[in-house]
Chains A and B, each alone.
Chain A
Amino acid sequence: MTIVLLTVFIFVTAGLLFSKQIRKLHYGLYVFAGIIALVIDEANIISLGYVPFGIFLVVMFTGALDKGIIRKKLNTVRAEYAIIGFIMLLPHALGYLLYFLDEFSLFDIPLSFYPGVIATLVFIPLTITSFRFIRKLMKYQDWKKVHRYAYLGYSMIFLHLLLIDNERFYMYLGIYITYVILRIPDMIKYYKKIKAKKAIKVTT
């Protein structure tokens, strides 16, 4: 967890101090993350998933923060962080996918594998639509609809981690429960909005 927390610290600090530079140099950062992802050929903190998990934690919890300067600053680099996180997730996802398909039959694969695969698949369209030039091609409502699947992706990441059932189980559980608690007010707001919209439609 030290590496995950260090990653969170580095990315939050960078987001707060260098948000403009990150936005400006985002393609360079993607290439840099891609090069790191490509050259990996053995177990390390990226291919074991610690670094991408730390980046996704920043992306996740940015949406759960109170409105204010911290949220505003981190929101401006959220898309860039999500893309970098996904690029760094690829060596982990592909490495384990190849390993499991190679070593296990479909029914012998540990349960934690499946939510991991689902999370990766969910994040593919989310990452593509996080690129600003693609986002500009979409209607905001459509983009928002697609990105609501991020919650499924986050849940699958945590299910994946919990099913691994290692000594960090309670830490992962604590993080996920905190996230859900923090998002409950937004969920209530969202469903109230939908209800109100439906009520207006019925009356008209």
Chain B
Amino acid sequence: MKNKILLILLLVLIVITVRNEPIEDTIDAIGGATNATYDSSIDGESGASSGYYDDDDDEHEDDDD
């Protein structure tokens, strides 16, 4: 019974994941790139923080001037 419940959970998760997460994002993430699906933000939805591993390179923002 428990195994069956787990199997159902797994199937539901697979369906939701396949529908919501582009496979390209997963391949990119495995390759080491962050993207909308696998970002490094702590609270991407609410925008509370920009998160760890900021790729913006803010230190060099003024270099363009």
Chain A contact residues, CB within 8 Å of chain B: 1-3, 5-6, 42-45, 47-48, 50, 61, 64-66, 68, 70, 95-96, 99-100, 110, 112-113, 164-167, 171, 174-175, 178, 181-182
Identify the closest chain A residue to B3 (Cβ).
A66
Contact B45 A166 (CB under 8 A): yes
A182 / chain B contacts, CB cutoff of 8 Å: 2, 5-6
Q: When the two chains form the complex, which single residue of A2, A44, A164, A166 contacts B21, counting CB atoms closer than 8 Å?
A: A2
B9 → A minimal CB distance (Å): 5
In the complex, number of A-B residue pairs with CB atoms less than 8 Å apart: 90
Contact A110 B49 (CB under 8 A): yes
Give complex CA distance A50, B21 in Å. 14
Q: Which of B22-65 contact A (CB under 8 A)?
A: 23, 26, 29-30, 32, 34, 37-38, 40, 42-46, 48-49, 52-53, 55
Give complex CA distance A86, B21 in Å. 26
Give complex CA distance A107, B7 in Å. 41
B16 / chain A contacts, CB cutoff of 8 Å: 1, 171
Contact B30 A45 (CB under 8 A): yes
Identify the closest chain B residue to A175 (Cβ).
B9
Beyond A110-B48, A165-B46, 12 additional contacts (C-beta under 8 Å) are A5-B13, A42-B32, A43-B55, A50-B29, A64-B2, A66-B2, A99-B52, A110-B43, A110-B49, A166-B43, A166-B44, A182-B5
